[in-house]
Amino acid sequence: SGAWEPLYRVVLLGDPGVGKTSLVSLFAGVQERDVLEQHGEAAYERTLCVDGEETTLLVMDTWEPEHQCLQVGNAYVIVYSVTDRGSFESASELRIQLRRARQPEDIPIILVGNKSDLVRSREVSVEEGRACAAVFGCKFIETSAALQHNVAELFEGVVRQLRLRRGGK
C-alpha cells in the first residue's frame, strides 16, 4: 500500500525450543513469501490492522542474544516455555541484558509464557509469570503456538505498546 505506515522491528528472544519459530510462523502465515535473510536470522514482515489502524511489523526470530539484536529492536518479545523452568530463568537474564544494552530507552517488552497447552508438564505457574513481568515492568501473556491460542493477541499487544510510545520515537 502507498499509505504512510510506520515500520517497527520486533525481536524474539528466548532459549532454544521455547517456541519462537512456531510463534513467528503463525504471525507470518503459512506462506513464507516475505522471508528476509539477515545474518542467518529469519525476518517476516506483515501489516496488522489493530484498532482500525494499520501498522507494519518486521518480526525477527533470533536464537542468541547477540549484541546487534539487542540494539536493533523497537520492541522485544521474551519467550520462555511454561514447561521449562530453566527457560524462565533465562528470560530474566535476557531482561537484564536488554536493560544494560538499551538503558535510557523505554522499549516495549512483552514476556511470553508459551506452551500453555502442556498442562501436565507445566513447571512455571501463570502467577509466577505475571509476578516476573511486574518486576520487569513489562507486559505478560501466556500463549500456545500449538493451539494458536493468544498468538494474534500477542502481536496486537506489541502494536499497542509501540503506539503508546509513538510520541517519543
Cα–Cα distances (Å) from 72 to 12, 49, 76, 84, 90, in that order, read: 12, 23, 10, 28, 20
Q: Shortest approach of ligand GDP to residue 87 CB, angstroms?
A: 9
- The three-state secondary structure class of 99 is helix
Q: End-to-end CA distance of the chain: give it in Å, rounded.
A: 23
Provide the 10 A C-beta neighbour count for residue 46: 14
Q: Shortest approach of ligand GDP to residue 136 CB, angstroms?
A: 20
Angle at 76 between CA 84 and CA 103, to 5 degrees: 110
Pick 16 or 29: Cβ nearer ligand GDP: 16
Pick 48 or 118: Cβ nearer ligand GDP: 118
Pick 9 or 163: Cβ nearer ligand GDP: 9
Contact positions toward ligand GDP, by CB under 6 A?
14, 16-22, 114-115, 117-118, 144-146
Q: Shortest approach of ligand GDP to residue 42 CB, angstroms?
A: 10
User: 41-50 and 35-38: which strand pairing?
Assistant: antiparallel
Pick 19 or 129: Cβ nearer ligand GDP: 19
Q: Shortest approach of ligand GDP to residue 78 CB, angstroms?
A: 12
